[in-house]
Amino acid sequence: MVSTLSPDDRTQVLHELPAEVTQQLMDLLPSDDLAEARTLLGYPEESVGRLMTPDYVAVQPAWTVERAFAHVRDVGIDSETINRVYVITADGVLVDDLQLRKLILAEPEQTVQDVMDGSFVSASAFADREEAVRLIKRYDVTALPLLDSEGVLVGIVTVDDLLDVAEQEATEDFHRVGSVEPIRGSLQDASTWRLYRSRIGWLLVLVFINIFSGEGIAYFEDTIMAVVALVFFLPLLIDSAGNAGSQAATLMVRALATGDVKMKDWFSLVGKELGVAVMLGATMALAVSVLGWYRGGVDVAVVVAMTMVCVVIVGSLVGMSLPFLLNRFNLDPATASAPLVTSIADISGVLIYFSLATWYLGV
Amino acid sequence: MVSTLSPDDRTQVLHELPAEVTQQLMDLLPSDDLAEARTLLGYPEESVGRLMTPDYVAVQPAWTVERAFAHVRDVGIDSETINRVYVITADGVLVDDLQLRKLILAEPEQTVQDVMDGSFVSASAFADREEAVRLIKRYDVTALPLLDSEGVLVGIVTVDDLLDVAEQEATEDFHRVGSVEPIRGSLQDASTWRLYRSRIGWLLVLVFINIFSGEGIAYFEDTIMAVVALVFFLPLLIDSAGNAGSQAATLMVRALATGDVKMKDWFSLVGKELGVAVMLGATMALAVSVLGWYRGGVDVAVVVAMTMVCVVIVGSLVGMSLPFLLNRFNLDPATASAPLVTSIADISGVLIYFSLATWYLGV
């Protein structure tokens, strides 16, 4: 072994490099490192295969416990975890995983077959990294064996590597919810230009969405000229719609990401959200109607209160449904960012507010 | 052992119950379970001590490798992980951790002392859970030994339990950033009333903050009456300030949570943020000035463009600084939610917009 990097370090380094560079690097690697790098790089970017290590202990069913244990001693020194030993056929197909303690406690002359229970958790090496996080959590294991399409054991992924993945994925979702294109790596090291690019796209999209709010206001110019006091409540009402919507979107985005909520739950959740939104809208209408009375008289107070109930309901339903809709079209639900939901809620807020005002005040 | 719950299940159950109930439950537990429960419950709610398991293997330095290995066989069946064996003095003080493979590969007649290297990673059982997550990630271990104030080994915490913690903490931050009081447990199971309570508090606070925006508009009533076209751009401008602010706040909240950014970095980051904000504001000003020209003539276009640059800068600086300010006063930085930043940015947006308009248009 010529390289001074540990297998972990090497894998890490390879993940962070562009394709041209990895190719050049691979040409320089000694042949046994090369084999490992090639195998790892054959898997798609977000797949768990990219995180796997080939350093595990595998034994065969026909072996005696004594032979299996000797094998553990021989190769265990390089393996990531020896809590579990994997049982494979001569063709490499995974047939069981054994806790090492089972081998330790078995009689030396028993065969591996005798102590097998035939139940194991595994994942495809092509599976999404998030899927592997879910499996490892559900089954409370510290490592997950990874198989190719033929069921052959190709490597394992350990929980400590997945801990990093879970944190990275959460950070990406955080950034998306804040309508920032995910910034990989440290914020400290990101250049001004990199930060600009990650933020300008969404800001411009939101500017153009907000133009519709302006157009809505332009349409109701006569109403505004007649009762200018209505403008006082505009930021309050459209922000409330946006805030209720952001809350609903945030709850759904995270629940979808952690697997707490599934696509099929939308219908039952929409009923609950309606109930919550009506209660929220009524409480907030009560709070602002006093101010409405003081600023613009009883008629304005009624319009503001009615609008508040309506916009909180519309905002909440938009906010909770948008993540599902995006997921349906195979987009990341976290794209339903607070700013996007706010901007959509604003447009409906402007239309609802001035429509109600025009109708109720008869201007 | 009377209980049919695994130690893990029991610990989990105990974490989720209020204090009165756990007390009653403990009265019903068999005596050896009771001892474990009492120990775990002595640690503060967010401490890593609450997650620890007493099921580990400990050996003493003077023991021979043979004796140590026999001990592993005897008690290893109940231990969470046997990748590592902990070396403690007769008083229980932790002096080393050994990878099991080291014991397996050593000669039976060597002592534990002979194979020790005296370097180990540990944490106080009173340490914050997030601190344990950081340690386990930095040192790439699958379990962390926990010590009392005298250095006595009291338990271990395993990476799979911390994976759940990391996810829970991320969910809480997500909820706070969306200005929802964190909802523990499944969103599916949360009652309408529970969801209402978690959302109404912030919504009402934001309503009262937004009243200031309304007051700002009221102050500039004459300007609005003179040039009603200014109102068209109000949602666009205040939303842009809020959106840029939300982006900056989201980036900082997450970077502070993952430890990427520290309190002392504020000063250097504020300079970078200023640079990014000027670039963002200029791009967006360019985008809206065309619309301003079309809607209200060249004068309105100039006011709208100037306002855009100013509000994006102010919004960004508020958004990036608020998480630091909250942290400074020992509040959770994630309280600097997108809606809170949006509402604060709105007020400054209204004031900047109409002040510039009054000055430039001379109305």
Selected residue with higher pLDDT from B60 and B119: B60
Mean pLDDT over each residue of chain B, to the nearest integer: 82
Whether residues B280 and A82 touch (CB distance < 8 A) is answered with no
Q: B110 in a domain, yes or no?
A: yes
Annotate A28-62 with DSSP letters as a single string.
HS-HHHHHHHHHHHTS-TTBGGGG-BS---EE-TT
Query: What integer best gives the mean pLDDT of chain A?
Result: 82
pLDDT at A197 over 60: yes
Facing residue for B260 by CB, picked from A187, A240, A260:
A187
Closest approach of A175 to chain B, Cα-based (Å) = 6
More confidently predicted of A343 and A306:
A306
**Residue B87 C-alpha, separation from nearest chain A C-alpha, in angstroms:** 19
B241 belongs to a structural domain: yes
Looking at the structure, do residues A153 and A249 belong to the same domain, yes or no?
no
Both A125 and A63 in one domain: the answer is yes
In a domain, B182, yes or no: no
Quote the number of domains for chain B. 3
Q: Is residue B190 part of a domain?
A: no
Please state which of the ranges A157-161, B17-21, B197-201 shows the lowest mean pLDDT: B17-21
Q: What angle do CA B244, B248, B249 make, to 5 degrees?
A: 115
Q: What are the start-end ranges of the E strands in chain B?
A: 58-59, 84-88, 94-99, 123-124, 143-147, 153-158
Count of positions (residues) in chain A: 363
Tokens found for residue B233:
């751009």
Residue B186 lies in a domain: no
Q: Which of A179, A260, A265 sits opposite B243 (nearest CB)?
A: A179
B231/A231 Cβ within 8 A: yes
Whether B160 sits inside 8 A of A140 (CB atoms) is: yes
* Pairing of β B84-88 and β B94-99: antiparallel
Report the residue of chain B nearest A271, measured CA to CA: B192
- Chain A positions in Cβ-Cβ contact with residue B179 (cut-off 8 Å): 243, 246-247
Shortest distance, CA A43 to any CA of chain B (angstroms): 24
Which H or E element spans position A154? strand A153-158
Residues A144 and A238 grouped into a single domain: no
Please tell me the least confidently modeled range out of A16-20, A209-213, A305-309, B5-9.
B5-9
Compute the distance between CA of residue A10 and CA of residue A3 in angstroms, rounded to an integer: 9
Is residue B205 situated within a structural domain? no
B185: left (phi over 0), alpha (psi -120 to 50) or beta: left
Contact criterion met (CB below 8 Å) for B309 and B281: yes
Confidence of residue B13 (pLDDT cuts 50, 70, 90): very low
Task: Count Cα neighbours of A127 within 13 Å in the Cβ-side half-sphere.
Answer: 20
The encoded tokens of residue B109 equal: 């007649």
DSSP E strands in chain A: the ranges are 58-59, 84-88, 94-99, 123-124, 143-147, 153-158
Same domain, A284 and A219: yes
**Which of A133, A162, A191 is at the close of a domain?**
A162
Tell me: do B57 and B157 sit in the same domain.
Answer: yes
The CATH code of the domain that includes B261 is 1.10.357.20
Q: What digits encode the pLDDT tens for the residues B203-260? A: 888 888 888 888 888 888 888 888 888 888 888 898 899 889 988 998 888 888 887 8
Stretch among A115-129, B8-22, B175-189 having the lowest mean pLDDT: B8-22
Return the CATH number at A57: 3.10.580.10
Partner-chain residue, chosen from B213, B250, B272, that has the shortest CB–CB distance to A174 = B250
Which neighbouring-strand residues pair with B98? B85
Is the confidence metric ipTM above 0.90 for this complex? no
The sheet with strand B143-147 has its strands ordered as B123-124, B143-147, B153-158
Q: Tokens at residue B247, please?
A: 């982006």
**B198 in any annotated domain:** no
3-class SS shares of chain B: helix, strand, coil, % to 5: 65, 10, 25
Decide if pLDDT at A295 tops 80.
no
Same domain (yes/no): A136, A36: no
Our CA-based measurement puts residue B341 at a distance from the nearest CA of chain A, in whole angstroms, of: 11
Cβ distance of A217 and B235 shorter than 8 Å: yes
Which tokens sit at B42? 């002595």
Amino acid at site B147? L
Chain B residues in contact with A218 by the CB 8 A cut-off are: 232, 295
**CA neighbor of A50 nearest in space, from A58, A41, A62, A59:** A41
CB contact (8 A) between residue A243 and residue B203: yes
When scoring B56, B179, B215, B234 by the number of chain A Cβ atoms within 10 A, the one with the most, hence best to mutate, is: B234
Strand partners, B97: B86
The whole-angstrom distance between B11's CA and the closest CA on chain A is 14
Please report the pLDDT score of residue B80 as a whole number.
Answer: 56
B258–A214 C-beta distance less than 8 A: no
Answer yes or no: is A117 within a domain. yes
Partner residues linked to B156 by β-bridges: B53, B145
- Three-state DSSP at A155 gives strand
Query: What is the average per-residue pLDDT within A66-93?
Result: 80
Cβ distance A159 to B142 less than 8 Å, yes or no, reads yes
Cβ contacts below 8 Å, chain A against chain B, sum to: 332
Query: Domain range holding B4?
Result: 1-42
Q: Are residues A51 and A72 in the same domain?
A: yes
Q: Are residues B33 and B53 in the same domain?
A: no
In the numeric block, which tokens belong to residue A179? Answer: 């309508």
Is A302 found in the same domain as A262?
yes
pLDDT the model gives residue B1: 31
* Together in a domain, A354 and A212: yes
Q: CB A339 to CB B100 under 8 A?
A: no
* Sign of torsion over alpha carbons B229, B235, B240, B242: positive
* B273 and B153 housed in the same domain: no
Cα A18–A23–A28 angle (5° rounding)? 125
Mean pLDDT of A22-42: 58
Using alpha carbons, select from A215, A273, A252, A270 the residue that is nearest to residue A337: A252
Judged by average pLDDT, the poorest of A172-181, A240-249, B85-94 is A172-181
Query: Is there a contact between B141 and B119 (Cβ–Cβ < 8 Å)?
Result: no
Q: What is the pTM of this model?
A: 0.72
Strands A84-88 and A58-59: parallel
Taking the CA of residue B207 and the nearest CA in chain A, the distance in Å comes to 6
Same domain, B85 and B149: yes
